[in-house]
Amino acid sequence: MKEIIRNSIHVNGKSYDSLFCEFKGKKIRMIYEAYNANELCYVEIFNGDKWNPFLNLLDLGILNEKSAYIWSETKRKQRSDDLFEKFKVMINKIL
């Protein structure tokens, strides 16, 4: 999987992390967000016109963490790294 660009913002109380990749000619976007007692992490795939939902935390068998926003910036960064790696493994198996 070829990483195209990654943007990370991990500050006190919130995180946003996005990773754009290309795999077998398909454009893939992974997003991680943590704020206000909510954690989201999902994957979208580009069909040529728009981004479409592809995978989410439940597909990995993981529940979102309601306390992620009180974690340190380092811990949220590590969490996004870990989840992105798990998504990469799953994408390799599916596509």
For 27-60, the pLDDT digits (tens) are: 999 999 999 889 999 999 999 999 999 999 999 9
Those residues with Cβ within 8 angstroms of residue 70's Cβ, 6 or more apart along the chain or in another chain: 13
What is the pLDDT, as a whole number, of residue 36?
Answer: 87
- How far is it, in rounded angstroms, from Cα 44 to Cα 3? 15
Place of tokens 């913002």: 9
- How far is it, in rounded angstroms, from Cα 90 to Cα 76? 21
Would the pLDDT of 88 be above 90?
yes
Span 7-22, pLDDT tens digits: 999 998 899 999 999 9
- How far is it, in rounded angstroms, from Cα 15 to Cα 80? 9
Confidence band for 69, pLDDT divided at 50, 70 and 90: confident
